[in-house]
Amino acid sequence: MGGSDRPKRVLCCVGTRPEAIKMAPVLGALRSAPWAECTVLATAQHRGMLDQMLGFFEVEADVDLDAMRENQTLPELMARLLPALDATLATTRPDIVLAQGDTTTVLAVALASFYRKTPFAHVEAGLRTGRIDLPFPEEANRVLAGRLAALHFAPTAQARANLAREGITSGVHVVGNTVIDALLRTAERDPPLPLSLDPSRRLVLVTAHRRDAHGEPIRSICRGVRTIAERHADVEVLWPVHPNPSIRAAVESEMGGVARVRLCEPLDYGSFVAAMKRSTVILTDSGGVQEEAPALGKPVLVMREDSERPEAVRAGVAALVGTDSAAIVRESSRLLTDPAHYARMSRGSSPYGDGRASERIVRHMARFLGVDPAEAGPADEFREGSENAEVRVVAREEVGARGAR
Ligand code: UD1
Ligand code: UDP
């Protein structure tokens, strides 16, 4: 057992939809590591959407804190999580605690681990806009969790550089983003889209949920999407609506009954991947979707003022359009009507990973925990530009079939 007489106890924590998606491949890799004994903790900051994803990836939580309440506030959620996490740490006594991203769950897990003097490993470390209030509260959550972490799994070289600027240089490994692991494995299975869409129409896929968008910005997003549907008769909009009550109320009141706009419940991961593959343009404020769309060769318009994921914008396959309805309409219409522009933005690129982030994470963790390097395996890193060839094939097929007209 790598120089120790017992397996290393790893506590893996998930709370929301994207955490389940991005941790599922890590859990898979941990389960096949002979040195690791893994316990899965669900804070259930999200209830329905977390269960939907855990079910899709066939992950069962060993501990469930059942923390979600209708329209929960940030302080009340944090106040519920800390003592419950501490009690779990006291009983499970992990050698290391793992969590992913920038949610309230992640900050609570990092802090609870720190109080118990247990090393915290941060998956998807180092993303920054550089503005502590944007996105709110995620940038602060990620900065604070990073300050408390012993291991930092940075998806890209840019994320490592961000950490270095804050003086964090030890325990940092560039591994790629685990969402690309989940995406490639799911896309490979070619899941069906369980909705009947008009095959003659191009699909514009929309998601939105950020707290920064609550109030007027989400209404402005809705007006933009409505205008796109009105102007382009050969376009159909699919919008799986996030259950956050502030978002859902606005989207349903602004978009209900609009011709060629289809609102639906959140899709399971396979169905959503199928929808992304079927789409011509993706409009989103989601972190995960910004990472996935370029890997599928789909142009993505990011409905935010700034993004902690600048790599795709730099590569020219994503554009920041903000939440102003006129800008959303202008940039979407350009993609839908200008084939050269469409081709430039849909050439397929995967700056966020190559599908092997999870195995790297597990190997780096093993070394950190003192597992014999022969058993831990090589400690390699992700280098941009080594993206998976298969993804590009998906991109080419779809672009050929459904690009700008
Ligand atoms: C949370 C994260 C955000 C992440 C997003 C992913 C925080 C502060 N926010 O935002 O960073 O990008 O998840 O989707 O950590 N709800 C349900 N069912 C669900 C999930 C949510 O009904 O399955 C409703 C509940 O009323 C809940 C509300 O949405 O109170 C807000 O959930 P919360 O996790 O606090 O914030 P999100 O806006 O979902
Ligand atoms: N997603 C999904 N079903 C949906 C909408 C999104 O499976 O109906 C996936 C999407 O592919 C991505 C993740 O959920 O991997 C993004 O989650 P979300 O936008 O809620 O959070 P964020 O990434 O912004 O934190």
Name the percent of the chain lying above pLDDT 70. Answer: 94
Q: Which ligand is nearest to the CA of 289?
A: 2
Q: Which ligand is nearest to the CA of 177?
A: 2
- At 70, the amino acid letter reads E
Q: 214 pLDDT exceeds 50?
A: yes
Q: 137 pLDDT exceeds 50?
A: yes
Q: What is the DSSP letter of 14?
A: E
CA–CA dist 290, 298 (Å, integer): 10
- Could you tell me which of 249, 248, 290, 277 has the C-alpha nearest to residue 265? 248
Location of structure tokens 């350009």: 334
Instruction: List domains and CATH numbers for the chain.
Output: 8-176+355-371 (3.40.50.2000), 194-350+392-401 (3.40.50.2000)
Predicted local confidence at residue 389, as pLDDT? 35
pLDDT (tens digit, 9 = 90+) per residue, 307-318?
Answer: 999 999 999 999
The CA 287 to ligand 2 mean position distance, Å, reads 8
Name the percent of the chain lying above pLDDT 90. Answer: 91
* Mean pLDDT of the region 113-130: 98
Burial class (CB in 10 A: 0-12, 13-18, 19+), 378: exposed
pLDDT (tens digit, 9 = 90+) per residue, 239-283?
Answer: 999 999 999 999 999 998 999 999 999 999 999 999 999 999 999
Burial class (CB in 10 A: 0-12, 13-18, 19+), 117: exposed
Looking at every residue in the chain, the average pLDDT score rounds to 94
Ligand 1 environment, Cβ below 6 A: 16-18, 45-49, 68-72, 74, 77, 102-104, 137-138, 209, 243-245
Candidates 46, 109, 134, 142: which one to mutate for ligand 1, based on the most atoms within 8 Å of Cβ? 46
Candidates 136, 183, 286: which one to mutate for ligand 2, based on the most atoms within 8 Å of Cβ? 286
Nearest residue (by CA) to ligand 2, atom 7, is 269
CA–CA dist 118, 97 (Å, integer): 7
* Mean pLDDT of the region 339-365: 96
Using pLDDT thresholds of 50, 70 and 90, give the confidence band for residue 208.
very high
Residues with catalytic annotation? 102, 124, 138, 209, 211, 242
Predicted local confidence at residue 384, as pLDDT? 79
Using pLDDT thresholds of 50, 70 and 90, give the confidence band for residue 386.
low
Q: Which ligand is nearest to the CA of 106?
A: 1
The CA 51 to ligand 2 mean position distance, Å, reads 14
Using pLDDT thresholds of 50, 70 and 90, give the confidence band for residue 4.
low
Start-end of H helices in 93-154: 104-115, 138-148
Q: How far is CA 9 from CA 60, 65, 94, 364, in A?
A: 17, 19, 5, 15
Q: How far is CA 78 from CA 17, 108, 112, in A?
A: 18, 6, 11
* Mean pLDDT of the region 372-378: 91
Q: Who wins on pLDDT, 15 or 390?
A: 15
- Could you tell me which of 19, 16, 59, 67 has the C-alpha nearest to residue 39? 59
pLDDT (tens digit, 9 = 90+) per residue, 159-192?
Answer: 999 999 999 999 999 999 999 999 999 999 999 9
Predicted local confidence at residue 402, as pLDDT? 64
Using pLDDT thresholds of 50, 70 and 90, give the confidence band for residue 399.
very low
pLDDT (tens digit, 9 = 90+) per residue, 21-72?
Answer: 999 999 999 999 999 999 999 999 999 999 999 999 999 999 999 999 999 9
The CA 17 to ligand 2 mean position distance, Å, reads 7
Instruction: Specify the pTM.
Output: 0.96
Q: Are the CB atoms for 314 and 384 separated by under 8 Å?
A: no
Query: Can you tell me whether residue 3 is helix, strand or coil?
Result: coil
Q: 397 pLDDT exceeds 50?
A: no
Q: 388 pLDDT exceeds 60?
A: no
Q: How far is CA 265 from CA 240, 249, 258, 271, in A?
A: 5, 13, 17, 11
